[in-house]
Each structure stands twice: as C-alpha cells, then as structure tokens.
Amino acid sequence: MKKIFAIFGNPVSHSKSPLMQSYALYGLGIDGCYGRYRLENGDALRDKFFELGLDGANVTVPHKESAFRACDEVDEFAKRVGAVNTVVRRGDRLYGYNTDAMGFLRVVESFGAVKNILFLGAGGTAKATSAILKDRGYRVDILNRSAKRLESFRGEFNIYTFDNFKPEIEYDLVVNMTSAGLSDDNLPAPVEILEATVPDAKGVIDVIYGKETPFLKFAKSKAVLARDGEDMLIYQGVLAFQYFIGINSRFEQIENIMRKAF
Ligand code: NDP
C-alpha cells in the first residue's frame, strides 16, 4: 500500500525535506509520497497526523516540543531533550525520535580528531546537539547572547554570556547554533570573541544552510575550514527516512540521493 509522509512546521514552505524525502522514496523504488503541512497549533499535531492518514512525519520549528507530547512512545534520547523531529506510526501508536542530534554528531565526526567545541547559541538545537556530544565524550562550552536560555545548561556545561566570556582553552570547533545570519547580516557573537576563538580552530560549522552567512565568511577570511548546515540537514533526513521505511542500512546510498535536492 502507498505510504504517505509529510513535514509539519510553521513556516514550512522553505523546507527541503519534501524534495529530499521524495527523491529517496523514488530512488529506492518505494511506493510513497511526501508533502508539507503548515501547522499553526502544535497541539493539533496528533489529530492532524491521523486525519491526513500519515505513516510518518518530520517536524520542524516551532513544533518539536509539541511532537514530543503527541507521541505514545519516544526513544531515550528524545525523552532527555524533550524534542521530537521524526514521528513514525506503527498500528495506531506514534513513536518519536530526534534525528537532528545524531545528524549533527555525524558532521562533527567528519572533522576527525576533535575534543573541545564552542557553541554560539543556547536554543533548542543547541540543547539537543550538546547532549549527544557530551554523551560521546566531547567538551562543549556554551556561549549565548543573553543569560536566560543558559539556565537549562547550568551544572552540565560551562556557560558564558558575551560579557563574561574569556577563552580558557583552544577550541577545535566553533559552531553557530543561533539564527544570526539566517535572514539578516549579523554575526552570532561580537567580532572580538570570534577573533579570539575562530582562527585557532580546526573548523567551524554554521547550522544555517543555503547561504554563506557572515559567520562562514568570517571563518573563510581566517582560512579556517567552514561547513554550513546542509550536511546536518541531509544526515537527519537520512536517519528519519530509515525510521520511516524500517531499514538501518544504505546510509550513503540514501545520502547521495538526497543530496540531489540541493
Ligand atoms: P531557537 O529559537 O531555539 O534559539 C535561537 C538562538 O539564537 C538563541 O540562543 C538566541 O539567543 C540566538 N540568537 C538569535 N539571534 C541572534 C543574534 N542576532 N545574535 C546572537 N544570538 C542570536 O532556535 P533553534 O535552536 O531552533 O535554531 C537555531 C538555528 O539552527 C536556526 O538558524 C535553524 O534554522 C538552525 N537549524 C538547522 C538545522 C539543520 O538541519 N541544518 C536543524 C535545526 C535547526 P538569545 O537566547 O539571546 O535570544
């Protein structure tokens, strides 16, 4: 029987997931289709999922916490971070996963020997990805513009605001986890902080994709290896697809197919 998938978000018109996932369905010869649904009220996610007759869904901003609540069961990691970006229906039960963090971990691993990482930003994406990195033995320090969001990192990570940050170690990776540069020309931190951390790093990652942000331009001007958020997006998409279809192999094959969406 034909399988039906969709992405929920608001806004959702910009999302690459329908193209990536449709290519993968087609490429693997699976009878299925994948659409997008702009959902205003996250509390309606579960009802909408069943009403649309979905077999699986991806979930993007701002509904990842709602998706977490909509599921009957969530895996251990998603439970810890309280956010779900992949929902799979089995019978009449919904199962939730977080593939953003695993996708980001793969990007970090692709840099080779990395130990110390500085996150610029303390939002939802930073929360999920820092947890998985810490589990895998990385040191992650969190630097954010304002103090409030840092509270949920207190005790587990070194936390700083722009005012009290003094680099005590050399960072192997500096990551823009903020939305600075997404639809403006802002750097994610004052230029003095970037000057003190980026030039000595092995690389930088910007989780924003599809454009060269001021942060990426800054890193390139210092001849530091710079990657945007495209790989993270593709990797989380491959992992979600594997949950949808129920396979745990052929990662590279699916990755190569999804890359055609860019
Ligand atoms: P949140 O809204 O949860 O958090 C936003 C963060 O950005 C906060 O730390 C906020 O700081 C900071 N921020 C916003 N504007 C500025 C600025 N001008 N200067 C400094 N800091 C700023 O966002 P998310 O965690 O959900 O998303 C963060 C980014 O990750 C987005 O750009 C999103 O598109 C991207 N993303 C990419 C993915 C991928 O697959 N490539 C997957 C998921 C997300 P403050 O607390 O001070 O407000």
| 93 and 49 co-located in one domain | yes
Residue 144 sits in which domain range? 102-228
pLDDT in tens, 83-110: 999 999 999 999 999 999 999 999 999 9
Count CB-CB contacts under 10 A for residue 238: 26
| 50 and 139 co-located in one domain | no
| 125 and 9 co-located in one domain | no
pLDDT in tens, 237-255: 999 999 999 999 999 999 9
| 256 and 178 co-located in one domain | no
pLDDT of residue 175: 98
* Cα of 250 from ligand 1 centre, angstroms: 31
Structural domains counted in the chain: 2
Give the CATH number for residue 139.
Answer: 3.40.50.720
| 80 and 135 co-located in one domain | no
- Residue 262 amino acid letter: F
| 109 and 187 co-located in one domain | yes
| 224 and 152 co-located in one domain | yes
pLDDT of residue 244: 98
Q: For residues 65 and 87, give the distance between their C-alpha atoms in angstroms, rounded to a whole number.
A: 12
pLDDT of residue 217: 98
- Residue 53 amino acid letter: G
pLDDT of residue 161: 98
| 180 and 113 co-located in one domain | yes
| 146 and 190 co-located in one domain | yes
pLDDT of residue 45: 98
| 106 and 223 co-located in one domain | yes
Q: For residues 64 and 232, give the distance between their C-alpha atoms in angstroms, rounded to a whole number.
A: 17
Give the CATH number for residue 243.
Answer: 3.40.50.10860
Please state the atom number of ligand 1 nearest to the C-alpha of residue 121: 9
Helix (H, G, I), strand (E, B) or coil at 257: helix
pLDDT of residue 124: 87
- Cα distances from 37 to residues 5, 7, 108, 215, in angstroms, run 10, 6, 31, 31
pLDDT of residue 73: 98
pLDDT of residue 183: 87
**Sites in the chain below the pLDDT cut of 70:** none
- Cα distances from 127 to residues 63, 101, 153, 244, in angstroms, run 15, 9, 8, 25
- The verdict on whether 16 is a catalytic residue reads no
Q: For the chain, report the end-to-end CA distance as a whole number of angstroms.
A: 29
Torsion angles phi and psi, residue 77, rounded to 5: -70, -45
Point out the catalytic residue in the list 48, 64, 79, 115. 64
Which residues contact ligand 1 via a Cβ below 6 A?
61, 100, 121-126, 144-146, 149, 177-180, 182, 186, 188, 207-209, 229, 232-233, 236
| 130 and 218 co-located in one domain | yes
pLDDT of residue 48: 98
Are residues 38 and 10 in contact, defined by beta-carbon separation less than 8 angstroms?
yes
Locate 52 and state its tokens. Answer: 């649309």
* Cα of 54 from ligand 1 centre, angstroms: 29
Cross-strand pairs, 93: 90
| 224 and 117 co-located in one domain | yes
Please state the atom number of ligand 1 nearest to the C-alpha of residue 125: 25
Torsion angles phi and psi, residue 36, rounded to 5: -125, 145
Please name the helix (run of DSSP H) or strand (run of DSSP E) that holds residue 139, with its range, or none: strand 139-144
pLDDT of residue 38: 98
Cross-strand pairs, 34: 5
Q: For residues 234 and 254, give the distance between their C-alpha atoms in angstroms, rounded to a whole number.
A: 9
pLDDT of residue 114: 97
Mean pLDDT in the chain? 96
Locate 118 and state its tokens. Answer: 């500085």
Cross-strand pairs, 57: 6, 87
Q: For residues 131 and 153, give the distance between their C-alpha atoms in angstroms, rounded to a whole number.
A: 10
State the Cα angle at 220 between 215 and 180, rounded to 5°: 5
